[in-house]
Amino acid sequence: MKALTSERPGFQDWIQAARLKFLPQGVMPVVIAGALAFSEGTFNVANFIVAFSAAAAVQIGLTMFNDTLDYVYGTDCKPIDAKNPFSGGSGVFTCGLIKPRQSLMVIFGLYLFALMCAIYMALDMGWGVMWIAIIGATISILYSAKPLRLAYHGLGELVMLLGYGPVLTAWGYFVHTGMVSWDVLLIGVIPGLCMWTMILINEIPDYEEDRAAGKRNLTYRLGPKNAKNLFIISLVVLYAYILALVFSGVMPPLSAIALGGIPLAVMAVRIAHRYYDDPIKVAMANKLMVIIYSVTTATVAIGMLT
């Protein structure tokens, strides 16, 4: 473990801070929206590349921002070797690899890059791109930052469902079409539900740390056992919702291949039910939920291409 020093962080330190295993949560709504635009004949290659890049920058920036604030607020105190690798922070601060000030400078650069991308697309598709982006950016910042700190007051899970679901998907669609439809909002709920469910299972191993720091998220309010039960219910709702969109004609029949993630969900449920009170052993359920997110959103996007 590196002691606190004045050394500059290395490339691997920044990769650790970025937590790239969570990158799909920031870009897959844009991919789903792009697939829908492609199926309608309105796909804009240049805007898709720019939107994808901006979404990736915001996702990495938000991950680092939450990590930084959790460390500053005293929520994230464990060293990396004592952590569940899919919950809590990256460990770069507790291990002295990166200082909060250094992290904030990189975060500012990532958000500035995303802003430049949004301005470019606004000039092409209209300033509606900016308004939707502002909503998303506001949600991402107020999730952990004062004065609201939504994640600390039991609202973080809901705003992430909205921000990483309908809002981001609508933005990803607007950059192709210059409009938002009810169908794209309904489809956008899918990655939002995936995000909601992932946050729930990721909060469970952090229960003791969050309680000590006064981070009153849903798991703090419900307790680990009830949060685990809500996680299971949320997975059931996710797949029922996908079926409902297919049967209602909002999504094409091929989108039902997203149900192929159900065996993974069953495995995650079994592990969560058995080990919800063990922060280390429940890690496999956290890992499976990361995979479920990617499998579900990728297959929905594939289904939209028909």
Residue 5 domain-assigned?
no
Per-residue pLDDT at 121: 93
Residue 294 domain-assigned?
yes
Residue 4 domain-assigned?
no
- Residue 286: name the closest of 211, 197, 221, 219 by CA: 197
Residue 32 domain-assigned?
yes
Residue 255 domain-assigned?
yes
Which domain range does residue 297 map to? 11-304
Residue 155, helix vs strand vs coil: coil
Q: What's the average pLDDT block by block, 10 residues per block, for the chain (306 residues)?
A: 60 91 95 96 96 96 90 73 72 88 95 94 91 88 84 90 96 95 96 96 91 88 96 98 97 96 98 95 95 97 91
Per-residue pLDDT at 141: 84
Reported pTM: 0.90
CATH number at residue 44: 1.10.600
- For residue 194, how many other CB atoms are within 10 A of its CB? 30
Per-residue pLDDT at 5: 44
Residue 44 domain-assigned?
yes
Per-residue pLDDT at 151: 85
Per-residue pLDDT at 41: 95
Per-residue pLDDT at 79: 63
Residue 24 domain-assigned?
yes
Per-residue pLDDT at 91: 82
Per-residue pLDDT at 78: 66
Structure-block tokens of residue 74: 């005293």
- Collect all residues with Cβ–Cβ distance below 8 Å to 66 and sequence separation of at least 6: 89, 143, 144, 151
Per-residue pLDDT at 69: 87
Per-residue pLDDT at 34: 97
Per-residue pLDDT at 72: 86
Structure-block tokens of residue 189: 């709920």
Is the N-terminal amide bond of 147 cis, ω within 30° of 0?
Answer: yes
Distance (Å, whole) CA 108 – CA 12: 20
Residue 158 domain-assigned?
yes
Question: How many domains does the chain fold into?
Answer: 1
Per-residue pLDDT at 8: 84
